[in-house]
Structure 1
Amino acid sequence: MTMKRARKHKPEKIWLKECDDLIRGAAGGFLFGIPLLYTMEVWWIGSFTEPPVMLAAIAATFVVVFLLNRTEGFRKTKDIRQSEAVMDTIEAIAIGIVCATCILVLLREITLDTSLGEALGKVIFESVPFALGVALARSLLSGDRYQSSNSQDNPSSANETTINATFTDIGATLIGATLIAFNIAPTDEVSMLAAASSPPWLLAIMVASVLISYGIVFQAGFTNQQQRMQQQGIFQRPLSETVFSYLVSILASALMLWFFQQLSFDDPWQMWLSYTLILGLPATVGGAAGRLVA
């Protein structure tokens, strides 16, 4: 009976590990590739790229990602054979293509009216940094998902610890959001993307921002996630922390847009909302990265 149970749960553990690896790879792709998605020059280059150049870009990406997988990779395993590195490279490029395509669709840079050649060009060029991020996922921020913390909080200083942890998370979120979104806020890409987004798509961007943030911090296995879940703080539960940090990132986005005079107090609230949600996606990714290193 015991042997049957072991056999039954072994495939489940394999699939769970594979899901962890995929989430870690996607999270690394978002951390590395999200800023380039807000660059109109890359959209234009992809729109007019000929098929031979696309194939050359894929080939060059394959070589670089293969070399990275031989030394780093997005899996926890360090000893990788050449055949496994090839398979991981194909998987990393596929993850990058899927992630880039989803975000380009969310940002309305790929629609049903977009030609196949233009869509392929945009996806291929935008997926390059995503694929590199997937290959660098393990080295970006390392950790063990199932490792637990042995430290215990002193009951006499519980309130102080809670307040300090909360302010630490707020500060880390603001720093990370600013580092990623500060170079995007003054550009014309934000206004262009906001003009092309309708309320349902803005809602989808909000949901995607929260899910990506949650995946980076609590599912990707970059740091000691068990310790992260046990950390003290007013909003220190995975869901509440993710939502609260998203609101902080949104606030940081609005302040950056106002600072660079992309928004003013005379603008309608709908404009504030659309601009802020558009910039909130990279800001949230940066905020999640900031909380990881806090």
Structure 2
Amino acid sequence: MSNSSNRKFAVGLARAAAGAIIFSLPILMTMEMWSLGSSMNPWHQALLVAMCLPLLVGMSHVIGFEETFGWLDDTVDAFVALAVGFITSAFVLLLLGIIGDELRFAEVLQKVAIQAIPASIGALLSQSQFGGQAQDSKERSSSYGGEIFLMALGALFLSFSVAPTEEVILIAHRMNHWQSVILSIFSLGIMHAFVYAADFKGKEDIPENSNHLRIFVKFTITGYALVLFICLFVLWVFGRMDGLASAEIISVLSVLGFPAAVGAAAARLII
């Protein structure tokens, strides 16, 4: 490799590490996430890590930290991001004294693995936020499939950081049924307003003579349904629904769906 190629690769890795730390730092410093590393169902954790790789491949295809020319390149970038996520998570947890000599290797690996998922997402997000984005990546993310993927990504990222906390269950228990319904409607309105009504940078304009109801159903309704499905999966994989009745699960979904909906809308604006 030439010196310029080596430098470009080193800069890319440094940017990925910075993105991994910046986007995952709140989760790395959350007590519930530390305990999840050792108390979480091992099969659920394995499923979560296994699902992380295809998610990262899709991210690399849409918004990767370098221009890619095929799915093989995207897969390589996904493994690089996952490795960066593991290394940066282990370093920060070690620096904070969360992992140490008193823990067995299996316990350390479990604690790091759960944190490496948002860190690896941050590693790939570093390009769209801190680096130059390739034009073809912008075109991919502006397609319908790309926008749905970005909404799913934003919902997953924010719900991942909120779902482990006790506050989600506490808020759900304090709310009555009408408050849950109003919160769900408000979340739906937030998703639509952020992207189409509020004058944020990156907001999308509704084309003239277009069917507003069709756009609302195609993007907002579909996006919110996807948000709720992701929240349901995150709650299940973290074991947050254990022992809850159906009505309680619906209430918890409405609570978690609020930040997840904000994340889904923000992803379409920012990325």
TM-score range, shorter chain: 0.3 to 0.5
Task: Give the structure with higher Rg (CA).
Answer: 1
